[in-house]
Chains A and B, each alone.
Chain A
Amino acid sequence: MGKYLLIESRDPYEYGDPNYFYELARDLADRGNEVAFFLIQNGVFPARGGAKPDKIGELRQAAPRVRILADEFSLRERGISRDATAPGVEVTEIGALVDLLVEDGRKAVWH
């Protein structure tokens, strides 16, 4: 099975198309692939604890094996502190994205 890095930069509360990206993450994981879902820029808004609809909770419930990361810089720019993020979100630096990018065989998709 494959390894994927899906980078979501768009806010699903502003645009409809991120929903397809969340579905892609779920479907890839359903088929046994290893998926890292990296939230960045306005893509971090669903990482707030208590955000409704709860896109992160829905993804975790549908695909528990998807690893969900959020860029600390993007969170900080938007006034979202580490302890205000939703359960299951790994707050991390941009270097973690680079580490994933250079893993052997990991396919990267930006949205």
Chain B
Amino acid sequence: MPRKPKSAAKPGGFVQTTVEIEGRTETRIVEVPAFEPEPWGNDAELGIVGARVPRMDAAERVTGRARYTADIARPGMLHAVILRSTVPRGTIRSIDLTRAAAMPGVLDALGPGDAPAATRLFGKEIFYAGQPIAAVCAESLTDAARAAEAIAVEYNLLPFAATFEDAAAKGAPKVRAKGNMMENGPLVMQRGDTDAGLKAADIIVRREFRTPVQLHTALEPHGAAAEWEGDRLTVWESTQGIFRVRADVAKAIGVTLSKVRVIKEYMGGGFGAKNGAGAHTFVAAIFAKRQRRAVRCINSREAEQIDSGNRPSSVQRVTIGAKKDGTLTAIHASIDVPLGISGWEGGPGQIYHEMYACENVRTEETFAYINASGMQAFRGPGYVEGAFGLEGAMNALAKELKIDPVKLRVKNFTKREPRQDRPYSGNNLLECYKEGSKVFGWSATHQQPAARSRKLVGKGVAAQVWPTGGGPPAYALLRINSDATIDVLAGTQDLGTGARTVLSQIAAESLGASLSTVRAIIGDTESLPYTGNSWGSMTTASVGPAVRMAAEDARRQLFEAAAAMLNATPEDLESRDSRIVVRDTDRSMTFAEVTSKLGNVMIMGKGSRGPNPADTAIMTFGAQFAEVEVDIETGVVRCTRFVAAHDAGRIINPTLAESQLEGGIIQGLGYALFEERVLDRKLGLVMNPTMHDYKIPTMADIPEIDAFFVGGADPAANHTGARGIAEPPIIPTAPAIAAAVADAIGVEMLEIPITPWRVLAALASTAMGDR
């Protein structure tokens, strides 16, 4: 039965709570829900939650019926194309739109000064190659693209900086008006005294790690379609945050929130890059208003690869001190990150403070702006880069100490979250090491193939933490229709994660309904209650509890109505498979029998996400194990086997959750072996803005992956017991693969991607290169 909220504040009152989003902690004022369902612990008897239910919108996705933003076609719809700067820094001396505007099919063009100031579009000063400078709108995409090419632009070139070193150098060109380095100097985080910790160490390991710029490369590019009806604007957008797009558009165009409706039915991937409106959104909305016709504006692939966000590169100088038995005495990292023209301090530093028990930890992160497109969050931002340095250094330490790297990690396991000295809601990292080792057949020593073999085999391990508690605000409604079908309404979005399915499972379980009667309606700001962006692995742990509460609220009302019909009290009733049973009797009614008697008297449940537990670290953990085969003639690395054990609390749907793990690992494999945006230092241009030259993994590159979950429900996190899972699996993949390559060839790989030429260069530095 529902119980009173555990916080001191009374239901309906407001309290302060903290929410961790992609490593950032935000303080929010949130209302206390009217009641708090009893947490689903490990002993909760659940039948639908935890079941391997097929993705409920899979049929749409495999038939071509799923409608994506790129598929939106409105009557009379026009197409817009954005022209982008071809130089990295300068000013526009002249721009002539007249020729473009006169071309066949072209209806309108926008250049400097033509967009509302709040859109920040089409300024005359150029800060990076790929910056939007003009746009055209035409009857067809082909007409629009031809016209954009016909716009004549002359630039006054200015010196630029395309690397951290160039931006940070004395007398460096002005990357932007406000200075080249992030304000307030380096970001320093510290506990204890690393100098003292290093003095106390028996062994000190120093390494410099380098990570590349990684591009999201979602298959569906950023895009929007816009249509005005009178003073009301509808935007279809491929986005992870419909409400954020609504706020961005309202602000930029200068209308109220209630005039803007944002719809996202299906989207072709986000991975962190689609968290708000962009140039394409504003361009579509402006043209649509001027032309009084719907307008669609979708990034070309080249625009997508050049200017839709990225994971910034990093250089991490890491020093670790330890006792002979492996006990860490100090962790120090000095880190440089070139952000692009914009960005924030979501750097590699934080994981250094959170992964291990160590009294003395210090990171200094220096962020520079460079003349390249700005960074965006990318799956596990900061932690992915940081794990490559930290876990790489831990593997180097294990080798120098001749300690099994798994044992070294177990030795330095932390029982409390060390950065803020908090207890965990739950932590089964030790079980991840244990089960992962067992399934992989881990042992630090193993047989190499016969001598003089061309192919060498190696094994490696790495681990991860990631804050994934989710949190308020998030709201859900649940309504029971007169035929007993059930609509779950929440203004969230399904990126391909399975949110529709997971939320339906939670609703069906809580209500005692059969899952086939439940439909989750998401992705529309006009008709659905607010939830936040689907980022930070937050959706299940944020929206799930709101859905559960809405379902429990609806069930309470349904039982009230049914009690009179069944000549019982509501307390005597229970429900399962859409049937209400009077406990210990044979009296029962189906939901449909009750609702048909109610007619159009509608039962509606309301739910909201309550505050997070105070001073508690809610995190997801994992350990990953890689086996590789290195061809010493060609330098090609093949990952041949991969095992991942993660603890994410209760798993609502193991099939979908395992798909998330595999997806993260495969993106991590790309990061380890193939992916690198190449920005030419002398030209300031991206040299590989295509899917041929920017390599993401193919099916031929994928090993057998055994990815699974350990632990169980985490009822201290929230009353569904679930934490987040989307981002954690990408975090330790690259360091695990790099360790496996090092194990194979006997040379540490300190820089990714581990391309054939890097392997051959590493081999050349050893005797093995002479074989």
Q: Do A and B come from one complex?
A: no
Chain B residues in the interface with A (C-beta under 8 A): none
